[in-house]
A and B are shown apart, each in its own frame.
Chain A
Amino acid sequence: MKLSRAMPVAALITRELAGTLLLLLGVSFVVFSILRLSPGDPFSAAVSPGAKAGAAWHSQYLAWLLNIIRGDFGASTRSGRNVLDELARVGVNTLFLTAGSMLVTLSISVPIAILSARRGPTPVNRFLTMFAYVISAVPAFWMGYIVIYIFTRKLGLFPLAFGFSSGERLGWLYFVLPIIVLGAGNGTVSEIARHLRQELLRVFSEDYIRTARAKGASVWRHSFKEGLLIPVSEIIASKIPFILGGAVVVEQVFNWPGMGRLAWQAAGDRDYPILMGIAIFAAAFVRLGALAQRTIYIMVHPRASKERPR
């Protein structure tokens, strides 16, 4: 007798995906409303040339939405280029920056959390915790300028240009620096370390960890999923918006041609098609992070498929 699951994992994930689509629809409407309500009806002028100026709002929205579904986000008012192309060009850079900096954040905070959860408040752990607090307190833009000052002005290691293509000997360093600055300076290192440590301590004090120890098993194997995997996935999902926000600043400081800098410029130029495209992509990105986190949770936790004990 194999007991059937009340709701299979795949069905749950499908349900989450459907929720994501509904949410994106809502975001598109909010973005539309904001622009539509801006003075001067820029919407009719720029975004949706197909819809007549002064037409009823719902027909404008519908026309715009249909265009989006077809993949047509309109053209940038500044460069005249297709919005989707522009976004694709800079999106990769931003993805690289955010994913990389998340990795940096985690590689600082996870070891600190594990060490202090396992060993208690030893002098080394106190120092590490202090270190995490200090780098979290430093704002990213300030840290960015300091780094540029040291590496460019004092050491003269590389010019203020982006990427490998510059041909400089230490060009790769310029590629890595913004990632490290955003990863360390986004203000979340100490928060994540503290949260993870608490989760680990909570799991270590669970009865089933006592059972694991009593049977001579590894405490790590029994605490990894619950104490590390789930909290880390939660953190990644919940910090994505902050890191996107941080990317706007760091991309400015480092002249990094990413979505944040594009958004900054577009806001200055009132380039509405670009802004709307970015808003929708950012929302989708954040939501996808949450979706990934839910998926991990459902896969790890047999109980997430809401069923009764028999």
Chain B
Amino acid sequence: MDVPVIEVKDLKTYFRTARGIARAVDGVSFSIPKGGTFALVGESGCGKSLTALSIIQLVPEPAGFHAGGEIFLNGREITKLPEREKRELRGNKISMIFQEPMTSLNPVFTVGYQTVETIRLHQKKSAPEAKAAALEMFAKVGLPEPEALFDEYPHRLSGGMRQRVMIAMALACRPDLLIADEPTTALDVTIQDQIIRLIKDLKDSMRMAVLLITHNLALVYRNAENVCVMYAGKVAEMSPTEELFRNPMHPYTVKLLRSIPGYEKRGLMLDTIPGSVPPATGYPAGCRFSGRCPREMEGCASIEPELVERAPGHLVSCHLHDPEFMSKPYSKPLKHEPDKLPPVPGPIAEKTPLLDVRNLKTYYPVRKGLLKRVRGYVKAVDGIDLTIAKGMTLALVGESGCGKTTAGKSIIRLIRPDDGEIVFKGTDIFGLSERALKPMRSKAQIIFQDPYSSLNPRLMVRDTIEEGLKTLKPGMGRPARLERIAQVLERVGLTPEMMYRYPHEFSGGQRQRIGIARALAVDPEFIVCDEAVSALDVSVQAQILNLLKSIQRDTGISYLFITHDLAVVEYIADEVAVMYMGHIVERGNTEAIFSNPTHDYTKKLLNAIPKLPPGMTWKLPGKH
């Protein structure tokens, strides 16, 4: 067999921090052959991206350092090379593309310049030759009119086009290894699909190796030959892709797979992983997953498991598969988590109408010239009709810029719409004044996407929640308000004492819970969830979806779920409306739309999402 393009042996990348040494990457080994695709998966904070940065020798210095292990590129060890030689490898033999195409290109240079620069750094080419090579790459990555684009600055291009430029730049020198770190996460689904196909085609035609880092497991299933599941800086499980998805051995892998939302899990609670990844400065002495593991045994927290091949090509680091460990007395189970996912508790509400939107229009004026006169309109929402019944969830889906967020905000009158009717609980609120709207404000709430920036960092959780109560429930006294806050915090799975803390003390998932608690406090009957779970890790996303679902069963609340994530829609929505350029092109029952889309745009959207084959279910390992 050939020498692998990249071989990582017991790689360790540590960081010096105020709390001690953080073992971010702690003994990772794998290799990728020529033309192969290898995927790294895991929650955020597991060391995936740092493994990639270690390979391309870009660990942020001086805090981060190479603490051990070797990396062989085509058989040559590269960690000890002098900086000058490392620079010659970057962009030449090893290239990398990143998650944020919007900010990854330098805004003050043209895209042509930036591509030519890469080529001329590594190859002895004259300026015209390099330009010709860059134009050829532009054409290869499917950029329209390469000649015209060559002299454009990045801000003139869309996210998808910028990612194509990034790929053109990364591949301009025909590298042996391409590292793609969440290359499609920030892009719309249809663009995601194009970019993934592009990487795949180019990989095949250029015979390079690809290291794909992603949290999208369906994407991995469709594109990688081998997968490595990382947890807390170590390899939890590594195997050929098909084998891993058919027969996951590590409880962590099973948990991850079971937390993906999807059509088959409708009506069931999604599986979740309690707690969060331990900080890299203080891992448990034994198995790093102990404490969160549903199959934890007495010895797990103190004895560290080894990564051993338990099936052909399938390596796993878990005591459950170690016959010797299992024969010892400390293999006594500590927990007995049932294998089956429980159904969402509570009755399904009766269908009574709650919200009826007709012919809603919201236009943004375009102002130009010295006097800023209105020269035209962007028709963000151009005549949409929606109905939502009590206790139901309507998903509004579409690509960024289609008007779905504007629609959501217009419906609850956070933005003033220009025309239409919004009948909420029998009253048309379209033309109501702010004062007249007040009773409705407590009945219709919104949760935002970014749990990091949508909470005021200077307000305690109590103040954030109390603010809404003060204005919308003026009759409530202070003791009643505090009681209400404690109550909603408990409802969203936090504790009442947490009301005296500030947002920075919480994790992303907890912050989103605070957002939900804030909305729930004023007793709403309708919540707009604007990409409410899009920024979260899959296991945290599952927790929040479970929470939203069970709140709905408890209180008969209705949701308008604005999202671009169709797996979430499949799982949670009763009805779907597909939005495209300000119009709703198709709407109906979720099952009907997913099984039998009629509009071309809906078909395109559904075809673009990577999916796991139907009928895949996973059982936790071990006997119980």
Q: Does B409 contact A (CB under 8 A)?
A: no
CB nearest neighbor in B for A300: B108
Residues of B within 8 A of A215 (CB): 90-91, 95, 117-118, 121, 169-170
The docked-state distance in angstroms from the alpha carbon of A216 to that of B114 is 12
Of B148, B151, B156, the residue contacting A309 (CB under 8 A) is: B156
The docked-state distance in angstroms from the alpha carbon of A207 to that of B182 is 14
B156 touches A307 (CB 8 A): yes
CB nearest neighbor in A for B107: A303
Instruction: Tell me how far the C-beta of B524 lies from the nearest C-beta in chain A, rounded to whole angstroms.
Output: 36
A213 touches B90 (CB 8 A): yes
The docked-state distance in angstroms from the alpha carbon of A309 to that of B160 is 12
Q: Does B475 contact A (CB under 8 A)?
A: no
The docked-state distance in angstroms from the alpha carbon of A303 to that of B98 is 23
A302 touches B108 (CB 8 A): yes
B95 touches A214 (CB 8 A): yes
The docked-state distance in angstroms from the alpha carbon of A200 to that of B532 is 35
Instruction: Tell me how far the C-beta of B167 lies from the nearest C-beta in chain A, rounded to whole angstroms.
Output: 12
B107 touches A210 (CB 8 A): no
A207 touches B98 (CB 8 A): yes
Q: Does A58 contact B (CB under 8 A)?
A: no
Instruction: Tell me how far the C-beta of B153 lies from the nearest C-beta in chain A, rounded to whole angstroms.
Output: 4
- B139-169 vs A, Cβ < 8 Å mask (1 yes, 0 no): 0000001001001110111100000001001
A309 touches B157 (CB 8 A): yes
The docked-state distance in angstroms from the alpha carbon of A208 to that of B109 is 11
The docked-state distance in angstroms from the alpha carbon of A217 to that of B87 is 8
The docked-state distance in angstroms from the alpha carbon of A120 to that of B63 is 11
Instruction: Tell me how far the C-beta of A202 lies from the nearest C-beta in chain B, rounded to whole angstroms.
Output: 12
Of A210, A221, A225, A302, the residue contacting B104 (CB under 8 A) is: A210
A217-B91, A217-B117, A217-B121 known; A212+B153 contact, CB < 8 A:
no
Q: Does A169 contact B (CB under 8 A)?
A: no
The docked-state distance in angstroms from the alpha carbon of A221 to that of B56 is 21
Residues of B within 8 A of A214 (CB): 56, 58, 90-91, 95-96, 98, 170
CB nearest neighbor in B for A119: B62
The docked-state distance in angstroms from the alpha carbon of A214 to that of B121 is 12
Which chain A residues numbered 181 to 212 have a C-beta less than 8 Å away from chain B?
A: 206-208, 210-212
B105 touches A211 (CB 8 A): yes
Instruction: Tell me how far the C-beta of A225 lies from the nearest C-beta in chain B, rounded to whole angstroms.
Output: 5
A211 touches B90 (CB 8 A): no
Residues of B within 8 A of A303 (CB): 107, 153, 155
Q: Does B201 contact A (CB under 8 A)?
A: no
Of B92, B95, B100, the residue contacting A207 (CB under 8 A) is: B100
Q: Does A3 contact B (CB under 8 A)?
A: yes
- B116-132 vs A, Cβ < 8 Å mask (1 yes, 0 no): 01100110000000000
Q: Does A310 contact B (CB under 8 A)?
A: yes
Which chain A residues numbered 259 to 298 have a C-beta less than 8 Å away from chain B?
A: none
A214-B96, A302-B155, A303-B155 known; A225+B122 contact, CB < 8 A:
no
Of B58, B108, B122, B145, the residue contacting A210 (CB under 8 A) is: B58
A309 touches B155 (CB 8 A): yes
Instruction: Tell me how far the C-beta of A220 lies from the nearest C-beta in chain B, rounded to whole angstroms.
Output: 12
Instruction: Tell me how far the C-beta of A223 lies from the nearest C-beta in chain B, rounded to whole angstroms.
Output: 9
CB nearest neighbor in B for A302: B153
A216 touches B148 (CB 8 A): no
Instruction: Tell me how far the C-beta of B16 lies from the nearest C-beta in chain A, rounded to whole angstroms.
Output: 12
A208 touches B105 (CB 8 A): yes
Instruction: Tell me how far the C-beta of A128 lies from the nearest C-beta in chain B, rounded to whole angstroms.
Output: 19
A208-B103, A216-B122 known; A310+B156 contact, CB < 8 A:
yes
A217 touches B108 (CB 8 A): no
Of A211, A307, A310, the residue contacting B106 (CB under 8 A) is: A211
Which chain B residues numbered 586 to 612 have a C-beta less than 8 Å away from chain A?
A: none
CB nearest neighbor in B for A308: B156
The docked-state distance in angstroms from the alpha carbon of A216 to that of B91 is 6
Most buried by A among B62, B91, B148: B91
Q: Does A226 contact B (CB under 8 A)?
A: yes
A3-B152, A215-B169, A303-B155 known; A210+B95 contact, CB < 8 A:
no
B166 touches A211 (CB 8 A): yes
The docked-state distance in angstroms from the alpha carbon of A302 to that of B153 is 7
Which chain B residues numbered 502 to 524 have a C-beta less than 8 Å away from chain A?
A: none
CB nearest neighbor in B for A226: B108
Most buried by A among B58, B108, B109, B151: B108
Residues of B within 8 A of A154 (CB): none
Q: Does B89 contact A (CB under 8 A)?
A: yes
Of A120, A213, A301, the residue contacting B107 (CB under 8 A) is: A301
A211-B104, A211-B106 known; A216+B87 contact, CB < 8 A:
yes
Q: Does B88 contact A (CB under 8 A)?
A: yes
B148 touches A3 (CB 8 A): yes
Residues of B within 8 A of A302 (CB): 107-108, 153, 155
- A57-70 vs B, Cβ < 8 Å mask (1 yes, 0 no): 00000000000000
CB nearest neighbor in B for A215: B91
Residues of A within 8 A of B157 (CB): 309-310
A216 touches B103 (CB 8 A): no
Instruction: Tell me how far the C-beta of B69 lies from the nearest C-beta in chain A, rounded to whole angstroms.
Output: 21
The docked-state distance in angstroms from the alpha carbon of A214 to that of B170 is 9
A1-B148, A3-B148 known; A207+B155 contact, CB < 8 A:
no
Chain A residues near B (Cβ < 8 Å): 1-3, 120, 206-208, 210-217, 221-222, 225-226, 300-303, 307, 309-310
The 10 closest A-B pairs by CB, nearest first: A215-B91, A302-B153, A216-B90, A207-B103, A216-B91, A208-B106, A214-B96, A216-B87, A207-B104, A1-B148
Given contacts A2-B151, A222-B109, 18 further A-B contacts (CB under 8 A): A206-B103, A207-B100, A207-B104, A208-B103, A208-B106, A210-B58, A210-B104, A211-B98, A211-B105, A212-B106, A215-B117, A215-B118, A216-B90, A217-B117, A226-B107, A301-B108, A303-B153, A303-B155
Chain B residues near A (Cβ < 8 Å): 56, 58, 62, 87-92, 95-96, 98, 100, 103-109, 117-118, 121-122, 145, 148, 151-153, 155-158, 166, 169-170
